[in-house]
Chain A
């Protein structure tokens, strides 16, 4: 009996190994075939271009794609360019103002939408509308709403007895106006993601809290907030990177002279040099700086993200 059992076990085993190896070969073959279109496309249009941008940032590239090496000159120029500092300052301003404000507002609204209130579906639909609206249209209508002479915003301010403001031409308020537009148009997306996160919190957690008689505020700070931390963190990083690359609104809201002084961002500066002034080497250096900043933020995200998951 002891002699037989290995034989009976071995026979089918040998057969399976053969089958598995031919199946494995088929899997490997089809695996590469299925990913080939994507991988080739990414190589040609993303990986190699990225390396080219790195390379171009050390060159002077003219309209006819002839390049001469300038080593670090583009970067040296960039860091002594007043426009770059203005753009960097503006971008930073939008990040510092818009990210926390929109995060807080969207969390508040998401919690509101998660309550059993009447007309929830209607509120939800209305609140989500900005997420699907074309940025070009958003910029255009806000430009009109913010118009100093015939805009609705000033009209409403006048209604409650406040003076008119030159929302889009006064350098002192233009950043605020742009921030309002950015926040208005980016809230919806965050609300959707946060709402999905809120709905993933098990109902029992709140039921237990109810039994213990915990108040609304403590409920928020001791239950909702800690459980939402990973989602909030993801949304804040997403928002960081989004605001860092803000372009459409700036491009559409202001005439060119305005952009150069008051509201321009780093991506606008990139666009101006790359496709308007045809200084592609210099523009590449701007793109590389933008990449480095994004990379640092992403790495911080991964680092903190890991910590949050542990706790």
Chain B
């Protein structure tokens, strides 16, 4: 157990140690494990020589808008699929869920062509658009809605509330743990997503962090301490979130598995 924990930790420690080294120190033979003179130079260089701050802002905006819209659309649909009865509901739901069986690559080319046709290549909107429709989030939130007792909305209906008000005012606050878990997991996916941002946004000022790092790595002669500093900074927000919201991370991932 100790060994396994160490192995999962080593890459992070290595990122940190390398990021504090100087370029010659990082590639010297025999290798030095600890930096002789720890310096923040690599951090300074990556922030000034490369539009790293822009990548950061792009990643943040992409993640924020994707998840917010995703949650709104998914929660509405999850309410419809779990609390309201109407003809065709279950058929439509099964059809939607069947999408989960299709690999992302089977949608990618037409999705790109749509975004291109709408003139949204290299824009934030183009980046966000297809991802806001999440059947995965809908599926998960539906499970949480199913756990709420029926009597609650019956009383509200008799008081003359409509279904949207009931959804927004009564049921949504009740499934807050589910919303938080789902937001965190989908936020993590958006933050780490490589393929779609790689395809849609190619101009330097529109890159997200994963794509920015990839383009950095493929450029010849970028020093390792800088790359490691970049990698560490890209991971940092999720690391901090994870430390504070561990319970929700784990709940989100676990409920995906147990109920799947």
Contact = CB atoms under 8 A, between A and B. Distances in A.
Interface of A: 23-24, 26-28, 30-35, 37-39, 41-42, 44-50, 52-53, 56, 65, 105, 109, 112-113, 117, 122-123, 125-145, 149-150, 152, 155, 184, 187-189, 192-193, 195-197, 200, 231, 234-235, 238, 241, 244-245, 247-248, 251-252, 255, 267, 270-271, 274-275, 280, 283-284, 286-288, 290-291, 294-295, 298
A31 B5 CA distance: 48
Contacts of B106: 49-50, 53, 287-288, 290-291
B254 A39 contact: no
Interface string B174-218: 000000000000001001101100110000000001110110011
Contacts of B132: 41
Contacts, number: 282
A50 B162 contact: no
Interface of B: 1-2, 4-12, 14-15, 18, 26-31, 33, 73-74, 76-77, 79-81, 84-87, 89, 92, 96, 99, 101-114, 129-130, 132-133, 135, 138, 157, 162-164, 167, 188, 191-192, 194-195, 198-199, 209-211, 213-214, 217-218, 224, 227-228, 231-232, 234-235, 238-239, 241-243, 246, 249-250, 253-258, 260
A14 to B, nearest CB: 18
Given A132-B241, A193-B254, 14 more contacts: A31-B86, A46-B107, A52-B110, A129-B8, A130-B8, A141-B12, A141-B14, A193-B253, A196-B254, A196-B255, A196-B258, A245-B103, A284-B109, A287-B105
19 contacts: A27-B163, A34-B167, A35-B81, A131-B249, A133-B238, A134-B235, A135-B210, A136-B192, A136-B194, A136-B231, A137-B235, A141-B11, A150-B29, A196-B255, A234-B260, A287-B106, A287-B109, A290-B103, A291-B103
Given A129-B9, A131-B253, A196-B257, A37 B214 contact: no
B195 A247 contact: yes
A255 B220 CA distance: 10
The 8 residue pairs across chains A and B that have the minimum distance between CB atoms:
A193-B257, A34-B80, A41-B133, A49-B110, A30-B163, A196-B254, A38-B77, A137-B231
A136 B254 contact: no
Given A123-B5, A136-B231, A140-B228, A128 B103 contact: no
A275 B228 CA distance: 28
Given A38-B74, A149-B29, A290-B103, A193 B11 contact: no
B232 to A, nearest CB: 7
A284 B29 CA distance: 47
A30 B80 contact: yes
A109 B4 contact: yes
Contacts of A238: 257, 260
Contacts of A134: 191-192, 209-210, 213, 231, 234-235, 238
Contact of B217 (A149, A252, A271): A252
B257 A27 contact: no
A38 B209 contact: no
B214 A252 contact: yes
Given A26-B163, A130-B8, A134-B191, A280 B109 contact: yes
A55 to B, nearest CB: 9
B1 A123 contact: yes
A149 B231 contact: no
A188 B8 contact: yes
